[in-house]
A and B are shown apart, each in its own frame.
Chain A
Amino acid sequence: MLDERLLQQLNTLHFMVRHNVIGRVGGRHLSKRKGLSLDFAEHRSYLPGDDYRYIDWNLYGRLDRLFVKVFSREEDYPVYVLFDLSKSMGIGNKLQRAQELAAVLGYVALKDHNRFGVYPFSQRLEVECAWLARSGWKHTLPFFDYVRQLKLAGETDFNHALNQFAHSGLARGQVIILSDMFCEAGYEEGLVALRTAGFAVLVFQLMAQQDVAPRLDYEVWLTSSERGPARRRLGGPEAVQSYLRSVTRYCTQLQEFCHHHEVGHLRLLTQLPLEQVVLEQLRGRVLR
């Protein structure tokens, strides 16, 4: 799924953590929660009940005041990928690119001992076929096998699926949505629910060549990949121009919404090489 060269490059990459990490102790990411570790963080005034062992007696000797030493706590960084399995992902090579990106993200997360899970969704969250969050290098190959066997099914209902995930009780962490984000019913409610639940959300909007520049220089039966029977007959440059105006407006609205709700948004064209996407678009935004 991932070639050797790309894997070597991924070995040097790590997830960028921008928010408070509330994970399990033992991770490799410093948490703003204070706790027990070897890394000194700061001093603070002594309060009754503090452990005498952490009183900095040297400082007491110089300042004649009691201070206790505070250490940073290292925690892991949960990464959850919400994988869109609706049939619209079958247009172009969006599914393949989503599988590759999921593999990249999983590889980076697992090698850093972060908990990493994949939760497919279409009309609802497909929990029964999810890759439940786990950490550790040993899960890498099974995870690749899991990603390979993902199959498309059904329509997209972002709001329902994302709401389900937001209320699943999972530890807060990074949520990455792999989807084309085409949903007539909207996505706003779901994204807001994720943000409200405390997840850091990043949207990878995958767009195929047919989505950004369809060729309709002859008359066609327009069919919906998800709704099938609904067909319309049109064609010609006039139809294409009209569609492009429409899709541009849609993507702009999505981008503005994400920006307004502190949701990361990356529009990824599937015709670009994966290595270019990873190194030029993900690095600096998601990975470091």
Chain B
Amino acid sequence: MSFFNPVAFFALSLSALVVAVYFLKKRPQPFEVSALFLWPEAISRSRTSWRWYKAPLPLLALQLLALALLVLGASQPAIFTQARGAGKLALIVDTSASMQTRTERGTRLEQALQRAVALVDNHPDAQFTLIESRAGGGVLVPLTEDGAHVRSAILGLQASYRGDAPVDDVVQWAQSQGSWSSFDRVLWLTDRQYLDPLLRDFPVEFDLQSGGLGNAAITAFMVRLQPDASLGYEGFVRVQNFSTAPLSTTLTLHSGARLVFNAPLELAAQEDASFTFPLSQSVPKLLTASLEVQDAVAFDNERHFTFQAQVLPRVFWWGEHDRFLEQALRALGVDQTLEWSPETAMQPSDLLVVNGLTLPRGFRGNALLVNGDWEDMIHAELLQPVERLQATDLSHPILRGLTPENIAVLQMRLSRLDPRMAPLLQAQVPAVGGAHPLMAAYQSADTRLVWIGFSLQDSNLRLTVDFPILVSNLLRWLVPLPLEPSVLETGAPLFLEKAGLEVILPSQQTVESQGTVFLATEEPGFYAVEAGQAWALNVPAAESRAPESAQAAPVDLTPRPNAQTASTAHPLWLYMAWLGLLALGLEWACYERGWL
């Protein structure tokens, strides 16, 4: 027997205090009476007096025994036993997503489980610990000699959609069952050859599971703002062919049942390709990129993407209200407009609509100036009739999707632009019969402004189908809110706005969240709550890159003749503590019941 904390034995000096207290405390003695029934039941106990008193020694013996046992427990005693037969084995089974890869002999995990069971069967007298190696894994079976239990635990393992476990995590899990040197063998059944330098200090036998029926995977999918943010969003997809055969398939991008993009795809063996394609201004919230292919791994033929819920700008209004324009803004999600004055404070994400007034010179922010002036910058002098709007740059974001010829203007304002503004002009729409601008877009570091040089009442713009398109273009150009992607890996926690929200799983099942953190995120796909939050969860891309045919020499699973018998420490402190408490309880019972 060894003691890991021998300092605790100093606490035995407390026994002197116990003895002193014991003999100083007077204890009740039996008092025989002729008739117990003459003594009233409800008599309060008198206080025990303190004096030198010779009490029954068994109680003192019990107290000292309890103290001794508790001190012994605190000293952390342990006995060491020699493991029988083949010593201690740590069995690490990789259950990451790549182990789902189908081979000619079943999945890689099925192969691994067969090997693990064979190892257990070959070592009937060994001690085993079973560790599940994946992100969020751990020790499944602590060190035990119960081979049947280990065997059933192995057969209960299933491949997850999680990524691989970090090597240092796996080492830590194994060491929780004993020092690394105490293991005779550490066998890691996985499909990945780990080359982490940490493993030089912790030798591991890798039993590599390999093979596959060919795999093509989408290893990246995202939607992002184009480098020129005014041009809107673009999608980015990377497809990799990990198989040794050429791949001919179709890449599709869809939002629910709506097809957003598709393209044929030809990839040579071990080749990869990236696709970038522009998306319209109205990007769907939930997007899935998929490959139409039958291969060894199904989970990486689809990847999902979503944005966080978009925040709409606050819209302020200055000047005469225009019902048509306000309704068009409402159709885009702007519920109401707020009154503005030059003293009103604005956020960078706000939009000011000025109708028929002169915008102050020092204005900074986002503004739509309709039939008005901008002090010292834009000044309209006189009215002049024109016939049709003519675009000089149809590719400009605010004119995207418009047909300018449909718009007729009865009266326009003859504008004189400040020379400081002229070089910054990005779009001019001259009126028919003259070279004067009808629309102008101004952009500086802290200001975005679109000027419309005519009253909406003096044109047929509000009555054309182009009007809502123009308003949508204006809103998105003036307040370009970048969309934040909401993409996580499987198994990641989802942080909800409040507890008790119902989360819609990829399988369309609904689960009520108990707290503000939702953890049941094992499957890839979209997770959403009714409040509008949504997350796209994908299997880590590294799981698709598992080698297809890196067949290594199989590990010998038979017992080694020179297997060392390892000594195992069995801690006894818990038993000592229980016995000590039992002795205390017995002493208390004897004292209370007067057994001694």
Seen from chain A, the residues whose Cβ lies within 8 Å of a Cβ on chain B are: 88, 91, 180, 182-184, 208, 210-211, 214, 216, 218-225, 227, 230-236, 238-239, 242-243, 246-247, 250
Contacts and interface: CB of A to CB of B under 8 A. Distances in A.
B33 A91 contact: yes
Given A234-B45, A238-B43, A238-B46, A221 B34 contact: no
A182 B26 contact: no
B35 interface: yes
A98 to B, nearest CB: 13
Given A210-B33, A214-B33, A219-B48, A250 B38 contact: yes
Nearest to A219: B28
Nearest to A185: B37
Nearest to B53: A218
B49 interface: yes
22 contacts: A88-B35, A180-B34, A182-B35, A218-B28, A218-B46, A219-B26, A220-B28, A221-B29, A221-B30, A222-B31, A222-B33, A223-B33, A225-B32, A225-B34, A231-B593, A233-B45, A234-B46, A239-B40, A239-B43, A239-B46, A243-B38, A247-B38
Contacts of A225: 32-34
B401 interface: no
Contacts, number: 98
B103 to A, nearest CB: 77
Nearest to A215: B31
Interface in B1-55: 26-41, 43-46, 48-49
Contact of A242 (B30, B37, B40): B40
A223 B31 contact: yes
B36 A232 contact: yes
B37 A236 contact: no
A184 B37 contact: yes
B594 interface: yes
Nearest to A207: B34
Interface in B132-171: none
Given A220-B29, A234-B44, A242-B40, 14 more contacts: A88-B35, A182-B38, A218-B29, A219-B26, A221-B31, A224-B32, A227-B36, A231-B593, A236-B46, A239-B39, A242-B43, A246-B38, A246-B39, A250-B38
A236 B28 CA distance: 12
A287 B503 CA distance: 105
Given A218-B26, A219-B28, A232 B39 contact: yes
Contacts of B594: 221, 231, 233
Contacts of B28: 218-221, 233, 235
B39 to A, nearest CB: 5
The 7 A-B pairs with the shortest beta carbon distances in the complex, nearest first, are A236-B46, A220-B31, A182-B35, A224-B36, A88-B34, A234-B43, A219-B28
Interface string B41-84: 10111101100000000000000000000000000000000000
A223 B28 CA distance: 12
Contacts of A231: 30, 593-594
Which interface class (under 10, 10 to 19, 20 to 34, 35 or more) fits B? 20 to 34
Contacts of B48: 218-219
B372 to A, nearest CB: 99
Contacts of B39: 222, 232, 234, 239, 242-243, 246
A224 B35 contact: yes
A232 B33 CA distance: 11
B40 A246 contact: yes
A8 B250 CA distance: 139
A230 B45 contact: no
Nearest to B49: A218
B32 A238 contact: no
B33 A224 contact: yes
A82 to B, nearest CB: 18
Contacts of B30: 220-221, 223, 231
Contacts of B40: 239, 242-243, 246
Interface string B326-358: 000000000000000000000000000000000
B343 to A, nearest CB: 86
Contacts of A210: 33-34
B45 A91 contact: no
B38 A216 contact: no
A137 B43 CA distance: 54
Nearest to A224: B36
Nearest to A247: B38
Contacts of A242: 39-40, 43
A183 B38 CA distance: 10
A180 B34 CA distance: 9
Given A220-B28, A242-B40, A250-B38, A235 B45 contact: yes
A84 to B, nearest CB: 11
Interface string B434-478: 000000000000000000000000000000000000000000000
B52 to A, nearest CB: 14
A250 B38 CA distance: 8
B34 to A, nearest CB: 4
Nearest to B38: A246
Contacts of A218: 26, 28-29, 46, 48-49
Given A218-B26, A243-B39, A246-B39, A235 B46 contact: yes
A218 B49 CA distance: 7
Interface in B572-596: 593-594
Q: Which of B30, B32, B48, B593 has the most CB of A within 10 A?
A: B32
A148 B512 CA distance: 89
A210 B29 CA distance: 15
Nearest to B594: A221
Contact of B36 (A180, A230, A236): A230
